[in-house]
Amino acid sequence: MIAQTTVRPSVWIGCLACYNEGILNGRWFPAEGAGEVTPEDLHLGPTYHDELWIFDHEGFPRGTGEMSPDTAQLWGEAFDEVGEEQWPALLAWVETGCYIAEGDDLPSVSDFEERYCGCWESFADYAAQLAEDIGLIDGWPEEAQRYFNWEAWTRDLKFDYTVADAPDGGVFIYRSF
């Protein structure tokens, strides 16, 4: 297994009224607290402006656009649930398009945890470990083991999985069931 680096999800929340007036008034916040930010937090006091919007973010899946602070907070809560170690794998799962979504197109953390098989150097490495773990050819005669077509078995096995490149090398592997 390969260790991955993680960027904790954070968002740049701006005042929409100020933005529409040509003024950039906003700050960076951790995503898990984005829904709690008020216009007063951005204006450092009372204001009649009442709409906030996420204009920039980091630590989210590629292709994620602007969003509301409440949606950003849901992503932050997903980060807290999955944890820093598995966050890059969850992002990659979303980016494959083969993820299970629930409300606001957010990934289902429980489905992710059920399907995620880890980060491996290659799918072939994963397949070899799986074959060993399940005792695929245990008890076979030595002659049958020698002629078993590992390449074909690995190729066919891959149809039951989604494989995504990991940012720090190797691949993330997810069951497709």
Is there a domain that residue 151 lies in? yes
Mean pLDDT, residues 23-33 taken together: 95
Residue 6 has pLDDT above 80, yes or no: no
Is there a domain that residue 1 lies in? no
Is 8 or 177 the better-scoring residue by pLDDT? 8
Using N-to-C axis directions, what is the helix angle for 69-82 and 87-96, rounded to 10°? 120
Residue 7 has pLDDT above 90, yes or no: no
Convert the pLDDT of each residue in 59-86 to its tens digit. 999 888 889 999 999 999 999 999 999 9
Output the six-digit token pair for 42.
Answer: 């951005």
Rounded Cα–Cα distance for residues 18 and 30 (Å): 22
Residue 22 has pLDDT above 90, yes or no: yes
Is there a domain that residue 79 lies in? yes
Is there a domain that residue 158 lies in? yes
Is there a domain that residue 5 lies in? no
> Are 93 and 116 within 8 A, CB to CB?
yes
pTM exceeds 0.95: no
Is there a domain that residue 4 lies in? no
Residue 143 has pLDDT above 50, yes or no: yes
- Domain extent for 34: 10-175
pLDDT of residue 4: 52
Convert the pLDDT of each residue in 114-131 to its tens digit. 999 999 999 999 999 999
Rounded Cα–Cα distance for residues 126 and 108 (Å): 24
Is there a domain that residue 22 lies in? yes
Residue 168 has pLDDT above 90, yes or no: no
Residue 107 has pLDDT above 90, yes or no: yes
Give the count of domains, the chain. Answer: 1
Is there a domain that residue 21 lies in? yes
